Amino acid sequence: MSSKLLRRSLLLPAMIVAALHVYIGVRLLPALPGPLVFHTLGALWLVASSLLIPSALMARRLSTGWADRLSWIGMLAMGFFSSLLILTLARDIFLLVAALTGWQPAGLGADSAVTVVLLALAVSAIGFFNARRTARVVRVEVPIAGLPDAFQGFTIAQISDIHVGPTIKRPYLDRIVDRVNALKPDAIAVTGDLVDGSVRELSAHTAPFGRLAARHGAYVVTGNHEYYSGAEPWIAELRRLGLTVLMNEHVVVTRGQASLVLGGVTDFTAGGFIESHRSDPARALAGAPANASARVLFAHQPRSAPAAAAAGFDLQLSGHTHGGQFWPWNLFVPMQQPYVHGLKRHERMWIYVSRGTGYWGPPKRFGAPSEITLVRLVRG
């Protein structure tokens, strides 16, 4: 996309962001107590924030060392603005209800305005801590009918949606890889959205992926952000690091006479970027042993579930949703995806949706903690 087209595409969102900042200023600043200097500083912050947020989204196009710094500042501003906006809306609803019911205690406007600002700061601080700490391990047992002894307790460590990029670098990924390897899983699944940026920009920071180690291998499937960042160069880079990229294909794990199929599909939207990458769960299972003990699919988006169930998979491991990442955006995820997080049943197939191991955009997680998932297959 040319710089001119990019500016045009961002103009309307930037205007909307600016208008929402004006709304916050009009509704909060006059109600806040304190000297004029506080109101002036608040107004200056709102102006700066309205400029920083769209600038952060464009920062990747800068080749200077300021790109990451601008992303950091802008994304922090976005996280705080998001909470401030929602709480300002909530305050207006609260004040409307109070006026309609005739409940008007002294200082209600000022006290509620201060509460909004303090809550927004608290939520942003907690969300930042949650996003930047190393993801906790979530253990999930999935019952598989007729699972033989050879695969009883087979473990798959799943990581997803790390988004190595402007604010997530090598040290963050190193901690994730260390924690995954410490679990000593039988297999590892990286279910998409590994990166936000090009191989040239991020190869030094994604190198820790090459340290992922499991008895039966480490596997990757593409997410939508790989296609935003250049999927084909990233597929080549991940293979260079020693990971197995599953492109609508499968591998067979054997233990004695028993076998387990691990399949992987490209992102649900991949065909819109590269026609030959069109996601196809049926193709991923083609030629697999008919008597396999279980068939597990790695698919970035939960939307792959209907096709995966129809193809004959027993379990699908997905990510993409981030569990909503922070309230209230989790309420909107079901508008696009059939499942938001956790273990669910889709017809005869199980699907587990990870909340993600990193984050996208604002370094903020609130009500949707990041996770490293250890899936254990058990006889159902």
pLDDT 10s per residue in the chain (380 long)? Answer: 445 555 566 678 889 999 999 999 999 999 999 899 889 999 999 999 999 998 887 776 665 567 888 999 999 999 999 999 999 999 999 999 999 999 989 999 999 999 999 999 999 999 999 999 999 999 999 999 999 999 999 999 999 999 999 999 999 999 999 999 999 999 999 999 999 999 999 999 999 999 999 999 999 999 999 999 999 999 999 999 999 999 999 999 999 999 999 999 999 999 999 999 999 999 999 999 999 999 999 999 999 999 999 999 999 999 999 999 988 888 888 888 999 999 999 999 999 999 999 999 999 999 999 999 999 999 98
- Which domains can be identified in the chain, with CATH numbers? 3-132 (no CATH), 136-379 (3.60.21.10)
Q: Which amino acid is at 321?
A: T
pLDDT of residue 78: 95
pLDDT of residue 2: 45
pLDDT of residue 61: 67
CB 320 within 8 A of CB 158: no
Answer yes or no: pTM beyond 0.85.
yes
CA dist 177 and 135 (Å) reads: 11
CB 261 within 8 A of CB 294: yes
With vertex at residue 322, the alpha carbon angle to CA 46 and CA 90, rounded to the nearest 5 degrees, is 40
